[in-house]
Amino acid sequence: METIASSWVYTILNFFAALLIVLLGLLVVWLVVIYILDVTQTQQAVRRNYPVIGRFRYMFEHMGEFFRQFFFAMDREELPFNRSERSWVYRAAKNIDRTLAFGSTRDLRPAGSIFFVNCAYPTRGEDAVAPSPITIGPYCEQPYTTASLLNISGMSYGALSKPAVQALSKGAAKSGCWLNTGEGGLSSYHLEGGCDIVFQIGTAKFGVGDENGNLSEALLRKIAAHPEVKMFELKLSQGAKPGKGGILPGVKVTEEIATIRAIEIGKDAISPNRHAEIVDAESLLNMIVRIREITGKPVGFKSVIGDTDWLEALFCLVLERGRESAPDFITIDGAEGGSGAAPKALLDFMGLPIGESLPAVVDLLCGYGLRDRVKVIASGKMVVPSSVAWALCMGADFVASARGFMFSMGCIQAMQCNKNTCPTGVATHNPKLQRGLNPTLKSERVANYIFNMTYDIGMIAHSCGVLEPRQLRRTHARIVTTSGHSETLENRYPSLSTGSLSTLVAEKEEG
């Protein structure tokens, strides 16, 4: 019996020994092949000079973006979003404790730092009120009224995955905010949650363009017939790439997405850098009026601000035609915005950041007497309560965020959005990777994120002594100057008196 057992043991050992020899042999053959490939190729000097081992250089370079955020970067030093910001969003989305101990790790000394002015007699909880509702498009057949402070910025189905769009739609419906479709058209996944929708018209006019790329009145009416669609946003430019149209890599253009956009499967979808019909203030205003007349719903535009001369020309034209001709809203996208693919030259160097562009636009609207007519939506890297509260102080009516909601669904800032390899399923059409994103669970986290953002924004407002967030003004926040001392935002950005610029224009014309 022992002899038989020993025989089985030897047989098994011999088998594994033989298997090991085979595997080692295959490894040697593989290394030889890799060595030959490396020393004979002429594309990469490191691999040619250091065959096989040189390949680790490229692997480490790729893995560095993942390791930095977990092991090397401090809580508040990483870009585009640091660990402190991401952690707050994750905890808000999961509806778990958001308090910290032992004091702030934020350095308040650098010039440009923002902090809020606490009131000696803050607003009591029983005196506080909910965010006030605002009506957009008072001259439309179907104006839109909403109280939501934070809304979901434009991210198309294509840039985002099917389960991500489903989660956003359902989460927006639960929390009462709107969902912007992005320029990729309207899908059934946007509609299935029953939330309010802002339909974005990009330069390629996906979903509302005819076979020649022109705006189709029939398709516009078809989109407007959906009761969920509340407004239309004409996209002139976006934060990540002002001056260039949308970019959807061919690897992300599936059959369904190609059908929605009326483009070829697997081919890069590159939108024009501007609308062919819009060349000046007059044509822009004509387009806005045309879309509003066809749909009966509020229409505005989204743009990154470079200079304000074109806005002044637009506002002067509005005064000539009448207040009803004005855009119903303006979405200001800061240069720091952008969740999609973009060229580095534009991503890093083009356009004004939201800190400069938001007060400039608000002040112009006020100066031309249009501030109460045209609502302002601020967008660009505002994912935590303090940044939204700052925007409200500066005069925004609403804030829209894209990446904040990506974080709420589990995004880990892997920066793979343009490669169809998003590890969390948020920005990929790979079914294996999408499997990890549960739309039902993530919709709860989207809603939690909005509820907790609204609560904490309200907490800042009440600490400043006002009843609700939309009562925040520039006097409620301070900014650190180069001298090391701070001044109120009102001193740094003095507001123009209502109608002061329109009065100057009238006087100049009379003269």
Closest by CA to 230, choosing from 162, 136, 308, is 136
Query: 173 to each of 177, 192, 228, 426, 447, how far by Cα in Å?
Result: 7, 10, 10, 19, 8
Instruction: Report the candidate in 253, 279, 256, 246 with the shortest Cα–Cα distance to residue 267.
Output: 253
How remote is the C-alpha of 346 from its chain's centroid?
16
Which of the listed ranges 80-89, 176-185, 407-416 does the model predict with the highest average pLDDT? 176-185
Q: Is the peptide bond before 80 cis (omega within 30 degrees of 0)?
A: yes
Q: Read off the pLDDT band of 505 (50, 70, 90).
A: low
pTM to 2 decimal places: 0.86
pLDDT tens digits, residue range 261-298? Answer: 888 898 888 888 899 999 999 999 999 999 999 999 99
pLDDT for res 316: 96
Query: Residue 254's closest CA among 155, 154, 157, 180?
Result: 157
Question: Which tens digit of pLDDT belongs to each residue from 186-231?
Answer: 999 999 999 999 999 999 999 999 888 899 999 999 999 999 999 9
**What is the pLDDT of the chain when averaged over all its residues?**
89
Band the pLDDT of 385: cuts 50, 70, 90. Answer: very high
Contact 163, 176 (CB under 8 A): no
**What is the phi/psi pair of residue 182, to 5°?**
75, 180
Q: Which pLDDT value is given to residue 509?
A: 60
- The pLDDT of residue 347: 77
Distances (CA, A) of 246 to 16, 217, 235, 382: 56, 23, 10, 21
Average pLDDT over residues 148-170: 94
pLDDT confidence tier of residue 31, bands split at 50, 70 and 90: confident
Residue 466 has pLDDT above 90, yes or no: yes
350-368 pLDDT, tens digit each: 889 999 999 999 999 999 9
Token pair in block for residue 90? 């994750």
